[in-house]
């Protein structure tokens, strides 16, 4: 690389292509090429993974994922099928007919710009193609060119763009720089759900075999063993038993949960990360303590052993298939209703799609808490209740014995996980729970929480380490708000109700605010619960000393 004089550097940057994305500010956006470099893209799916999906996940749906192959995003040849353009255009046509929302979203945007500065990817990068309006325009321009009269006649003048390899590259870059968090939708006067545009973009890319491994491998694991982690039944069970051993060491209470038990009243489903990965396992210990505390008649399932659904980030066929096990297992076990753990996108799938895709669950009852008698009419159609709703109801009825002082070593704040907050309106329940289990709690600024919450920056299957830099900049708006309460109130614990958050916010904090830890709300519940017959607690669920027990 030529050595430039210092005073020319700024100019060269402003006029030359950015080294990572190729974003050139002085050109019109359609003329800016997407350039793939190490660190700005997630690795493509392994060939054997796609062979697995073709042969095992969808043996009767040829073409859903293109031809399995090894390919390199940095290469000029992506080994696409010869008729890839035709496949994409047919795919758009099929989806315009099938999904009315897509047709509306393609037509009704007036480019008012209300969404432009609301995306965490845009705020962290300044890249105009990360403005939701422009990201959608990547697809909309092709729609205009080939599916509207104006575009067919006037082409570029009407905002149309021909589908080219360059456009396909842009799609792969920017539809994987959107976490489908839907913050932009909150500000759109027309209610355009940009997440659905990204979903369609990714579906179309799959048709020609353009995909990422971090999504396709967990999806394959999920299809094979029931969960993303690929845990087989005995391992899933063993891990929970290990957690029970830890609980016994900390509290003196022996918990013996049941698995795949027919006739249980409630089936409990949570992300497999809660069973296997830190810090999710502490959240799972919280669940175990809570259920033991109230004597809930429930069972775990080693088949429906995953709440998350990477199908949501793939295509609607995959989402439906991976979700199917929830109702299937509930029916097989003969439970009355389903209780769901702390997960983010699981709740978008459950709340907005499950009933349509795999319902009606008429073999289940409208969930009623056996402890308080509360009937959860909000879950009358899905028959599935969120753990925070369930816990808040228990607290409201005085059914839990809590000692919030046991969380006095924590100064907490709460991150509204995108999907529970914006896709199912779960906003007050976790806060009510937190008010009752921690003494030190501080909210982040209003425009960064509740419906306006900022994404962790790594959702929708982007939580892979090869794009760590990208994740750190897209997570900046969230980290920036955490920094504020850390500096002002000495906050040291970021609580949330999402398994991906628990993993990714941990990395985000490691970079931006290293002294802030991350936990699930149920972990703090578990710490505070006073169990009958317990020994004096000296540590929290992480074996960390409680306040006053440090010595």
Partner 1 sequence: MLLQELLIENKGEILEAWVDQVLATYPEDGARIFKKEKDQFANPVGYAVKNSLWEVYTLLFEKNETAKIVAALEQMVQIRAVQTFAPSEAVSMAYTLKRVVKSVCHKEKVADLEGWQAFEEKADILAYTMFDLYAVSRERLYQTRIAEIKSGNHITTDGGCPSKLMDKNIAPKAELKTINV
Residues at the site binding partner 1, with contacts judged by CB under 8 A: 4, 6-7, 9-10, 13-14, 18-21, 23-26, 40, 116-117, 122-128, 131, 213-214, 217-218, 221, 225, 228-232, 234-235, 273, 276-278, 445, 447-448, 463-466, 468-469, 472-473, 476-477, 480-481, 483-484, 503, 506-507, 510-512, 514
Query: How far is the C-alpha of 223 from the C-alpha of 217, rounded, in Å?
Result: 10
Q: Are strands 384-386 and 337-340 parallel, antiparallel or unpaired?
A: parallel
Look at residue 407 and give its three-state secondary structure. helix
Among residues 118 and 406, whose Cβ is nearest to partner 1?
Answer: 118
CB 544 within 8 Å of CB 410: no
Look at residue 416 and give its three-state secondary structure. coil
Both structure tokens of 424: 């199912």
Shortest separation between residue 378's beta carbon and partner 1, angstroms:
31
Among residues 11 and 380, whose Cβ is nearest to partner 1?
Answer: 11
Q: Which helix (H) or strand (E) holds 269?
A: strand 266-269
Shortest separation between residue 507's beta carbon and partner 1, angstroms:
5
Among residues 5 and 100, whose Cβ is nearest to partner 1?
Answer: 5
Among residues 134 and 139, whose Cβ is nearest to partner 1?
Answer: 134
Both structure tokens of 154: 């006037």
Among residues 79 and 484, whose Cβ is nearest to partner 1?
Answer: 484
Shortest separation between residue 383's beta carbon and partner 1, angstroms:
29
Shortest separation between residue 518's beta carbon and partner 1, angstroms:
11
Own/partner pairs for 441-446, CB < 8 Å, 24+ apart?
Answer: 441/411, 441/412, 441/413, 441/414, 442/411, 442/412, 442/413, 442/485, 442/488, 442/489, 442/491, 443/413, 443/414, 443/485, 444/413, 444/414, 444/415, 444/481, 444/482, 444/484, 444/485, 445/481, 445/484
Shortest separation between residue 504's beta carbon and partner 1, angstroms:
9
Both structure tokens of 527: 């710490």
DSSP character at residue 256: -
Shortest separation between residue 100's beta carbon and partner 1, angstroms:
32
Q: Which helix (H) or strand (E) holds 493?
A: strand 493-496
Shortest separation between residue 278's beta carbon and partner 1, angstroms:
6
Q: Of the candidates 226, 220, 290, which has an alpha carbon nearest to the alpha carbon of residue 260?
A: 226
Among residues 318 and 481, whose Cβ is nearest to partner 1?
Answer: 481
Q: Are strands 384-386 and 412-414 parallel, antiparallel or unpaired?
A: unpaired
Query: How far is the C-alpha of 382 from the C-alpha of 424, rounded, in Å?
Result: 12
Kindly report the length of the chain. 551
User: Roughly what angle, to the nearest 10 degrees, separates helices 132-147 and 100-108?
Assistant: 100
Shortest separation between residue 113's beta carbon and partner 1, angstroms:
10
Shortest separation between residue 71's beta carbon and partner 1, angstroms:
17
Among residues 115 and 394, whose Cβ is nearest to partner 1?
Answer: 115
Among residues 227 and 369, whose Cβ is nearest to partner 1?
Answer: 227
Shortest separation between residue 316's beta carbon and partner 1, angstroms:
22
Among residues 381 and 452, whose Cβ is nearest to partner 1?
Answer: 452
Burial category of 295 from C-beta neighbours within 10 Å (exposed 0-12, middle 13-18, buried 19 and up):
exposed
CB 539 within 8 Å of CB 250: yes
Q: Of the candidates 171, 218, 216, 219, which has an alpha carbon nearest to the alpha carbon of residue 198?
A: 171
Both structure tokens of 284: 């799972």
Shortest separation between residue 443's beta carbon and partner 1, angstroms:
12
Shortest separation between residue 326's beta carbon and partner 1, angstroms:
20
């Amino acid at each position: 690389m030529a050595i430039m004089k210092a005073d020319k550097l700024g100019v060269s940057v402003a006029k030359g292509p950015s080294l990572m994305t190729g974003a050139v500010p002085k050109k019109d956006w359609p003329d800016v090429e997407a350039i793939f470099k190490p660190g700005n893209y997630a690795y493509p799916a392994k060939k054997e993974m796609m062979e697995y999906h073709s042969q095992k996940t969808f043996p009767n749906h040829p073409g859903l994922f293109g031809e399995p192959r090894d390919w390199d995003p940095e290469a000029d040849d992506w080994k696409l099928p010869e008729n890839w353009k035709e496949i994409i255009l047919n795919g758009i046509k099929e989806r315009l007919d099938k999904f009315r929302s897509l047709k509306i979203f393609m037509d009704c945007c007036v480019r008012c710009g209300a969404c432009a500065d609301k995306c965490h990817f845009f705020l962290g990068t300044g890249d105009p193609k990360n403005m939701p309006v422009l990201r959608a325009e990547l697809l909309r321009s092709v729609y205009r060119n080939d599916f509207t009269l104006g575009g067919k006649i006037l082409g570029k003048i009407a905002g149309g763009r021909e589908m080219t390899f360059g456009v396909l590259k842009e799609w792969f870059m920017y539809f994987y720089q959107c976490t489908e968090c839907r913050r932009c939708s909150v500000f759109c006067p027309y209610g355009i759900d940009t997440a659905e545009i990204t979903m369609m973009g990714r579906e179309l890319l799959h048709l020609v075999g353009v995909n990422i491994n971090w999504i396709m491998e967990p999806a394959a694991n999920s299809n094979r063993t029931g969960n993303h982690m690929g845990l087989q039944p005995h391992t899933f069970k063993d891990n929970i038993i290990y957690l029970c051993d830890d609980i016994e060491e900390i509290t003196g209470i022996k918990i013996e949960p049941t698995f795949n038990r027919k006739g249980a009243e409630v089936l409990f489903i949570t992300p497999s990360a809660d069973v296997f990965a830190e810090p999710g396992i502490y959240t799972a210990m919280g669940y175990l303590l809570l259920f033991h505390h109230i004597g809930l008649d429930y069972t775990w399932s080693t088949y429906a052993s995953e709440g998350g659904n990477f199908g949501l980030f793939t295509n609607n066929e995959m989402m439906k298939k991976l979700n199917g096990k929830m109702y299937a297992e509930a029916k097989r076990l003969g439970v009355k209703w389903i209780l769901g753990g702390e997960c983010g996108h699981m709740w978008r799938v459950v709340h907005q799609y499950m009933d349509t895709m795999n319902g009606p669950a008429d073999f289940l009852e409208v969930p009623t808490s056996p402890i308080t008698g509360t009937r959860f009419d909000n879950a009358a159609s899905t028959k599935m209740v969120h753990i925070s709703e369930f816990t808040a109801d228990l607290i409201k009825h005085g059914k839990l014995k809590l000692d919030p002082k046991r969380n006095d070593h924590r100064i907490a704040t709460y991150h509204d996980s995108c999907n529970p907050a914006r896709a199912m309106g779960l906003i007050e329940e976790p806060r009510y729970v937190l008010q009752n289990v921690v003494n030190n709690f501080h909210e982040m600024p209003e425009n960064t929480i509740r419906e306006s919450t900022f994404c962790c920056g790594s959702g929708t299957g982007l939580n892979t380490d090869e794009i760590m830099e990208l994740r750190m900049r897209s997570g900046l708006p969230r980290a920036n708000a955490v920094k504020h309460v850390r500096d002002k109130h000495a906050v040291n614990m970021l609580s949330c109700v999402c398994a991906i958050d628990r993993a990714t916010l941990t990395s985000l904090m490691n970079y931006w605010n290293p002294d802030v830890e991350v936990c699930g709300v149920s972990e703090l519940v578990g710490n505070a619960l006073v169990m009958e017959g317990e020994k004096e607690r000296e540590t929290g669920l992480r074996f960390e000393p409680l306040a006053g027990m440090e010595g």
